[in-house]
């Protein structure tokens, strides 16, 4: 049976282990395939299992790796693809107004519905972000953002819808069995484990994490640092730990498909990002019921309950260490957190997000746009 809506989802970063890709794939896995057909474009595919899964589900994925090297050729290929497949909607996910390239290609190809989806509050190419604003404004028909701050960053005073970063929330409920299994495999007994999950890049600020942890070792006994993920700064951070002579206290775990189990093994989560559109990893960590400390560059809308604390990156490491020491001293009942904060947590469940996105797609194509009565519309189903 033919689907009601054909959507080309364009990821402007590598399809791999990152926040945008995770959100896209969570939606794809959940949305009704008999209603919405989603195909994909990305400048690179960093994980072949993603493309394999997409193809197994009957959808297509196109790797157009000339986005930065040859923008004109990239633009032309996009126009041809959108015309050939006759997509009803082009939904572009990115961190800046450079998504204007994809939106203009969709406009040129005759696609009526062109969605810009903001996933961050800063970018690495601010000049292009500023210069492309006029093209962006004439090419965009609908505006989505992962949070209020991300929407204001991309869209300024224009209206936008907040689409919550949905996950399978029940998968992140704390498990004592998983905790024991992971800690046993890592040869951890009674150590206090400070953790972080994320790409090793400038945004995630691993240098700060390691610096804070080195100070922790002077104040708090029996600590370990567990870093999960990979990225271009991975080797640099390993060398930093070696120079600080703390390499035996830091576990560089690498990439993992068992994030939920690893979170249960941790005791405290550090998230000192330099900027964030939302921060899925912080949300996941909170759901496991452990205390979390984030930078004040992370939107406070990430709070799922009362176990996340926000500190400034300009504060001394002593203040971060003092907060860690205070939280370590408290007794946390992790199993109860999910139920106590269920309403807030469930509003970020992927089932709600995917259902809402599906309704929006159908409404846009049927020319019955959902009414936006406020500047900011927050999903609370």
Q: Per residue in 310-357, pLDDT tens? A: 999 999 999 999 999 999 999 899 999 999 999 999 989 999 999 999
Average confidence (pLDDT) over 279-293: 95
Tokens of 123: 């970018």
CB atoms within 10 A of CB 7: 25
Q: What is the DSSP letter of 212?
A: H
In the chain, list all ranges with CATH 3.40.50.2000.
5-166+349-377, 170-343
- Is the separation of the CB atoms in 222 and 191 below 8 Å? yes
pLDDT at position 84 is 97
Buried b / exposed e over 107-137, threshold 16 CB at 10 Å, is bebebebbbbbbbbbbbeeeeebeebeebbe
Tokens of 366: 């049927």
What kind of architecture, by CATH, is found in domain 5-166+349-377? 3-Layer(aba) Sandwich (3.40)
pLDDT at position 368 is 54
pLDDT at position 369 is 52
pLDDT at position 377 is 38
Angle between helix axes 280-287 and 19-30 (nearest 10 degrees) is: 70
Tokens of 42: 């990305």
Average confidence (pLDDT) over 25-51: 93
Ramachandran region, residue 161 (left: φ > 0; alpha: ψ -120 to 50; beta: rest): beta
Nearest C-alpha neighbor of 297 from the set 149, 154, 160, 152: 149
pLDDT at position 2 is 67
Question: How much is the mean pLDDT over the chain?
Answer: 92
Nearest C-alpha neighbor of 202 from the set 273, 114, 301, 252: 273
pLDDT band at residue 380 using 50, 70 and 90 as cut-offs = very low
pLDDT band at residue 175 using 50, 70 and 90 as cut-offs = very high
Average confidence (pLDDT) over 121-133: 87
Average confidence (pLDDT) over 236-251: 97
Using CA atoms, how far apart are residues 50 and 131, in angstroms rounded to an integer?
A: 33
Nearest C-alpha neighbor of 199 from the set 234, 251, 226, 236: 234
Tokens of 84: 């050939």
Average confidence (pLDDT) over 187-194: 96
SS3 224: strand
279 has pLDDT over 90: no
Residue 137 backbone phi and psi in degrees, to 5 = -65, -40
- Is the separation of the CB atoms in 193 and 265 below 8 Å? yes
257 has pLDDT over 90: no
pLDDT at position 381 is 27
What kind of architecture, by CATH, is found in domain 170-343? 3-Layer(aba) Sandwich (3.40)
pLDDT at position 379 is 35
- By percentage, how much of the chain surpasses pLDDT 70? 96
Q: Is 90 or 257 the better-scoring residue by pLDDT?
A: 90
pLDDT at position 374 is 32
Using CA atoms, how far apart are residues 352 and 350, in angstroms rounded to an integer?
A: 5
Secondary structure (H, E, C), 55-112:
HHCCCCEEECCCCCCCHHHHHHHHHHHHHHHCCCEEEEEECCHHHHHHHHHHHHCCCC
Q: What is the DSSP letter of 369?
A: P
3 has pLDDT over 80: no
Average confidence (pLDDT) over 4-10: 96
Length of the chain: 381
Using CA atoms, how far apart are residues 210 and 216, in angstroms rounded to an integer?
A: 10
Average confidence (pLDDT) over 67-77: 94
Least confident window among 14-23, 215-224, 265-274, 363-372: 363-372
Nearest C-alpha neighbor of 162 from the set 378, 341, 380, 381: 378
Using CA atoms, how far apart are residues 23 and 1, in angstroms rounded to an integer?
A: 27
Q: How many CA atoms lie within 13 A of 41 on its CB side?
A: 29
Highest mean pLDDT: which range of 2-6, 94-98, 127-131, 291-295: 291-295
């Amino acid at each position: 049976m033919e689907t009601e809506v054909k959507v080309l989802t364009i990821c402007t970063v590598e399809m791999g282990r990152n926040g945008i890709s995770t959100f896209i794939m969570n939606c794809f896995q959940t949305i009704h395939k008999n209603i919405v057909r989603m195909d994909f474009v990305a400048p690179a595919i960093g994980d072949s299992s993603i493309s394999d899964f997409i193809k197994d589900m009957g959808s297509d994925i196109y790797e157009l790796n000339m986005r930065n090297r040859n923008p004109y050729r990239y633009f032309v290929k996009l126009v041809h693809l959108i015309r050939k497949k006759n997509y009803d909607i082009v939904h572009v996910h990115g961190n800046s107004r450079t998504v204007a390239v994809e939106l203009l290609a969709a406009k040129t190809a005759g696609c009526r519905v062109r969605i810009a989806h903001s996933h961050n509050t800063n970018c690495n190419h601010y000049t292009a972000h500023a210069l492309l604003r006029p093209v962006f404004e004439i090419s965009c028909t609908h505006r989505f953002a992962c949070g209020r701050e991300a929407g204001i960053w991309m869209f300024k005073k224009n209206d936008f819808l907040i689409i919550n970063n949905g996950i399978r929330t029940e998968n992140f409920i704390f498990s004592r069995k998983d905790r024991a299994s992971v800690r046993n495999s890592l040869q951890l007994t009674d150590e206090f484990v400070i953790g972080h999950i994320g790409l090793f890049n400038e945004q995630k600020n691993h240098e700060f994490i390691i610096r804070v942890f080195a100070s922790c070792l002077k104040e708090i006994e029996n600590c370990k640092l567990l870093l999960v993920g990979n990225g271009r700064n991975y080797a640099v951070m390993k060398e930093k730990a070696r120079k600080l002579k703390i390499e035996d206290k830091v576990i560089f775990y690498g990439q993992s498909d068992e994030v939920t189990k690893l979170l249960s093994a941790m005791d405290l989560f550090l998230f000192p990002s330099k900027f964030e559109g939302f921060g899925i990893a912080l949300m996941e960590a909170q759901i496991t019921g452990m205390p979390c400390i984030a930078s004040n560059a992370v939107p406070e809308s990430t709070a799922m309950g009362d176990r996340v604390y926000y500190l400034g990156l300009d504060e001394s490491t002593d203040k971060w260490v003092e907060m860690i020491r205070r939280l370590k001293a408290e007794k946390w009942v992790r199993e109860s957190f999910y139920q106590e904060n269920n309403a807030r947590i469930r509003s970020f469940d992927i089932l709600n997000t995917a259902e809402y996105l599906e309704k929006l797609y159908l409404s846009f194509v049927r020319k019955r746009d959902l009414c936006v009565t406020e500047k900011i519309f927050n999903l609370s189903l």
